[in-house]
Structures are given as structure tokens and as C-alpha cells.
Amino acid sequence: MDPIAAGFWGAFFGTAALMLGISLAVFVRTRRQVALSAAFSAVVCAVFVAACLGWLSANSVHQDRLVALIAPLSAGALSPMLLALLGLLRQRRPTLRVASITMALALAVVAAGWMLAARQALILGWAATLTAAVVMLLVAIRTAWVGSRLAAGAAVGMALLLVGLSCLSWIGIDHSTSWPVHAVSALACMGFLSVMGAAAWDRYSYLLELSEVMAHGPAYDPVTRMRSHSETGQMVGDMFFHRDAEARPVGVVAVCIGNLYALENLHGRAAFNHALFICAGRLRRCVPQTVEMGRLGEDGFLLLTRSMEDMRALGQLARQIRERLARPVSLSTSRDPGRIGTTGTNWVADIGIGVLATSTKVRPAQVVATVRAMARTAWTYPTRVAVFDQEAGQIAELAVDETPLSVF
């Protein structure tokens, strides 16, 4: 094989190995069936490509027979998995029925191939495999037509797979093909694995969120993926509860968004929920794991921590939250799934942040009320960050180099 072609195929097998490793890690941790399906897909694709390249057999006749066997069986095994990934097979009985039909058709092609010469069996196997790929592509396009974003990605992946299979069939029939054909096939197969991996992760994320909703019930807010309003109260109680008489420091940060209700009045509840979803996602990505988060009313979030011995970190965290949440975003204004992301309005969150260094000796209700008032007062400050000035006994703006050291 040409060294350049070998390099492209090496990149493909590296992609398959990476997908397999990630899938197995997810499977071991959460035992999700989606992760197992992704790992199985990576293995099947790698074995299939190795057989087509002649790496599993030195004899050309045996190689043709092997590809004529593996190609239909691979198509029969992967087709039900793709349908399940698209959400078309949601129940166990239809899944088993479709899997039985596809594998029966694959075995019929294999049986017919054994009655033919090796090269004729190879052509029959490739014809059946390409036909299955075209059918799956049409199914994905039809599903994407009704507004499924996951199906749109799967359709792109199947189109790439069809290109890769066409080049592989050329390579399998004519072993003297040049390296550009190998390059196109390897890149197309890598694209297929990448797209399918992303689609599987999207499906996995959905199931993970669904498990959180089923586990926590009303305590889980599906819009922000944080604790709900009632659960935030429980979080505050747990944070301020202590058995010993010694007071412990507690860092409290409140984030309030001042223009959410104006957004709802102008563009409706869908835009309101989208803005809240975006802000919550940005907040989760910039907050350390030692900080507990929850909803604070309809327009805010509450952050609590006892792990920050240096309260200067609270001021730095507040500035980081302000920079992250104040970035512009394009919001959808339609609830139609097919139009999400196509019609929208540009929006910038009007952030107010209150930072309070307190202790477990103070009543939790008083702390929450104070820090929320600080966050709302911060809307009037240029820096949008407010602290409690212990000496003046009032709320003040956090300057550029100031740190919230006073204890409330």
C-alpha cells in the first residue's frame, strides 16, 4: 500500500480507537446502551475496513469471500442501530423485529454469495451493502425533513458513509487503485464516525437529562438543569446547618438578570426560556465544582460555597460570571422545533451580581434577602457587581481591585 494511503487509514483507525475508548469509558461509568452501541459501531467499521483493505487475509480469493461475508452482515447489524439512534425504534418488540429482518436479509445475501464465484459474491455483497446505505440515507433524510436535528446529522453521516463505501468497493474490486481514492474513502469514513459519535453523544445527553428528571422530580429544573426553587431553599438550609458552635465562613453570590421580563413582553415566553437556558449553561461552565448552584426566583441564580478560604476568590468569580453572562446571544423566538435557530433576536443579558462573605451564624433567610437586594442594586453600577460595606452599613460597588473581605 502507498505510504500516503497508509497514513490516511492510520488516521481512520485512530479515530475508531478514540471513539471506542470514549464509548467504553462512558459505558463503564453510566452503563448506557447508547455508549455500547457507539462502541459496537466503531468495532464493526474498523473490522470492515480492515477486511476491505486485505489486512485479514493474504489470499485474494479468501479476501473476496471474507468481504462478501462481512459487508452484508455489517450493514444488517448497523441498520437497526441507526434507526434506534434516530428514535424510530422506541420499543423492544419492534426493535427485535427490525433487527431480525435486517439480519435475515444479510444472511440471505451471504447464502446467495456462497453459490457464486468469489468475485461475483464480492460484487453481490457490495451491491447489498450500498443498497442498505442508500435506504438508511433516505430514512434519515425523511426523518430530518420533519424537523429532527439529530436526523439531519445522521443524514450527513450516512452520506459520508455512502461515499466511503463507494470508494472501498472500488478498492476491493480493483486492488491497484491510487492513493487519492484511499484518502477520500478514509476521510469519508472518519467523518461518518465523527458524526455518528456526536449523534450518539446527543442521544446520551438526552437520556442523562431524562434520568436526572426522573430521579429528582420537581427538585430538578429542566430549563436551567439546576436545583428548582424549592430545592434551592433546601440547599441553603444544608449549607448553613452546623452542629458545633463555631461559626464557619460561607461565600454567597446572587446573580439577577434585569431584562428577562422585558424580553418576554417583547418576544414571548419561548425567548425567555431560551435566554434563561443559555445563561444557566454559561454559568455552569464557569463556576468551580466546589460551588453549589440553584434557582433564585424567576430571574436569578444563587451560588453558595464553604470551600473558599480566601474570600477574594468570590470577587474574581463574580467578575468571571459577569464577563461570561454579558456576552451577546442570538435567541429563538419560535416554539416550532423546525424553526429553532433560524429565527431569532440578538440579546445581551443585563447582569447584576451580589457578593457576600458571611458565616453560618447569620440566619439563612436574611442572607438570601440581602444578597438578592445587592444583585438588584448592582444593576445601577458600571461594574455590575455589588458588595456589602460593613463600615458604612450599606451596599456598595465592587471596584476593580477591591475584594469582599467584610463579613455580614
Q: Please tell me the number of Cα atoms within 13 Å of 192 on its side-chain side.
A: 27
Cα gap 36→185, rounded to integer Å:
25
With cut-offs at 50, 70 and 90, classify the pLDDT of residue 376. very high
With cut-offs at 50, 70 and 90, classify the pLDDT of residue 86. low
Cell matching residue 93: 418488540
Cα gap 316→102, rounded to integer Å:
58
pLDDT digits (tens, 9 = 90+) for 145-154: 765 666 777 7
On the question of pLDDT at 42 being above 80, the answer is yes
- Segments in 115-147 forming alpha helices (H): 118-145
Type of residue numbered 72: P
pLDDT digits (tens, 9 = 90+) for 269-315: 878 888 888 888 888 888 887 888 888 888 889 999 876 655 677 88
SS3 281: helix
Q: Please provide the DSSP assignment of 195-260 as one string.
A: HHHHHHHHHHHHHHHHHHHHHHGGGEETTTTEE-HHHHHHHHHHHH--SSSS--EEEEEEEEETTH
Mean pLDDT, residues 233-260: 80
With cut-offs at 50, 70 and 90, classify the pLDDT of residue 379. very high
On the question of pLDDT at 318 being above 60, the answer is yes
pTM reported for the whole predicted model: 0.53
With cut-offs at 50, 70 and 90, classify the pLDDT of residue 353. very high
Cell matching residue 24: 467504553
Instruction: Identify the top-confidence range among 12-26, 212-226, 275-289.
Output: 275-289
On the question of pLDDT at 22 being above 50, the answer is yes
- 167 neighbors 188 (Cβ within 8 angstroms): yes
On the question of pLDDT at 380 being above 50, the answer is yes
Cα gap 187→266, rounded to integer Å:
47
On the question of pLDDT at 219 being above 90, the answer is no
On the question of pLDDT at 258 being above 80, the answer is yes
pLDDT of amino acid 316: 86
Q: What percent of the chain has pLDDT over 70?
A: 79
- 357 neighbors 257 (Cβ within 8 angstroms): no
pLDDT of amino acid 245: 58
Lowest mean pLDDT across 53-57, 132-136, 338-342 = 338-342
* Contacts with 44 (C-beta within 8 Å, 6 or more apart), sequence order: 74, 77, 78
pLDDT of amino acid 339: 46
pLDDT digits (tens, 9 = 90+) for 322-349: 999 988 888 766 555 444 444 567 889 9
pLDDT of amino acid 171: 79
- 370 neighbors 352 (Cβ within 8 angstroms): no
Q: Which residue has the cell 488516521?
A: 11
